[in-house]
Every structure is written in structure tokens, then in C-alpha cells.
Chain A
């Protein structure tokens, strides 16, 4: 199975700053079928990005995804207070689908 490794585990930033989250895959993700989800405490994950770089419906333009093969990035251009949460990457190009272990974006 494809193992996804997210870094850093925790990102301490202030509102207005830029956040860069990484997701590395143990082997190439077929068709770059990679998604990013945001999860807040007590809530279900919410889809942010699909197919590496496409924003889901209603997701603000400050969220962007990039990458290919084994290296993927989620960028939040300017952090808003509501963006402090845990972010997960998931590959769905190969079975079993797998998730990264998550990156927590916390307020500095």
C-alpha cells in the first residue's frame, strides 16, 4: 500500500501568515489522485482539494494544492482564524486508500 507521510506534524503560525503543508508518498500516486481534508475538533473531515489541485465547492481561493508523483503540497496563502485545524492528505489512486497522519495548524 502507499504510505503517506505528512510534515510537519505541527505548524505554529499567526493569522495572516502563509502555511505550507507537505505530503510525501512512498510510491507514485496514480494519476495524482490526491485530496486534502480539513478537520476541526468534534467534526467530520471536510474536503478542500481533490485531484491534487482542484478546490472543492465553496472552498476559498486562499487554499491551493500542488505537486505530482510522490510530493504534494497544500498552501494556505493567508491564515484566517477559522483555518486553525488538522489537515489530512489522502490518496485514492491505489487500493487500499490511505491517509497521511495529519498536520495540526495551531495559533502561535
Chain B
């Protein structure tokens, strides 16, 4: 079945970077967009951006544009999201989620989602 499996929890110090992985199974990563969404403790969901795993093209929400890099390794069916210059405000669960097929020209919803990766930023 289609599944996204994310890397484990991370603890980082302010100013550091973190890279979260998202491994696709049950389908070919390159065939569908991957979206990244985060959720701070007790808060709602915040969309961060997407990557087209086929072309490598990306689009980020404005607030993340200068700190977030989304990449992929097609050979191991895995997408990555790296955030630099971490602050305590970046403490959150980070989710990847599958979007539209890359050949589809319309926007689509996100389904399924990975299990989430908790990133804690603390001194």
C-alpha cells in the first residue's frame, strides 16, 4: 500500500540545521508531488511547501523561502526537507504528504501523510 515513512525525532540547538527524510513505498516517488506541513505543539497545521520529485522543482511558503530547502533522491525513493538557522519557534512535528501526480495540471489535496517527525529546538 502507499506509505510515507519519516525519519526519527531530532533535538537541535538554536542556530543549527535539521534535515528530515520521507521515504515513499508502494509507489514511485517521482510520480507525485510531496508537500511538507508542520505543527507546533498544541497548534494547528502550517503548509511549508512542495517538491516535484521528478524535476526537482520546489515552491515554498513565503515565510520559509530563505530557510527551507526541499530535495529528493530518486534512487532511494526519498524526499528531504532541511531547515537552517533553527530557533525554538521551529519546535514542531514535521509531516510530509503526497500530493498530485506530476503530470496532472490541477491542484490536489494531500493524501496520505507520513507519521511525522518531532524536531525540538532547545539550548
- A contact residues vs B (CB 8 Å cutoff): 31, 33, 35, 37, 43-47, 50-51, 56, 88, 90, 92-93, 95-102
Contact = CB atoms under 8 A, between A and B. Distances in A.
Given A88-B45, A99-B46, A93 B107 contact: yes
Contact of A90 (B45, B61, B116): B45
Interface of B: 35, 37, 44-47, 59, 61-62, 95, 106-116
Nearest to A102: B44
Q: Is the interface of A mostly helix, strand, loop or mixed?
A: loop
Contacts of B111: 47, 50, 56
In the complex, which of the residues B35, B44, B62, B108 has the most CB atoms of chain A within 10 Å of its own CB atom? B44
In the complex, which of the residues A88, A90, A96, A99 has the most CB atoms of chain B within 10 Å of its own CB atom? A96
B47 A97 contact: yes
Given A44-B95, A45-B45, A50 B113 contact: no
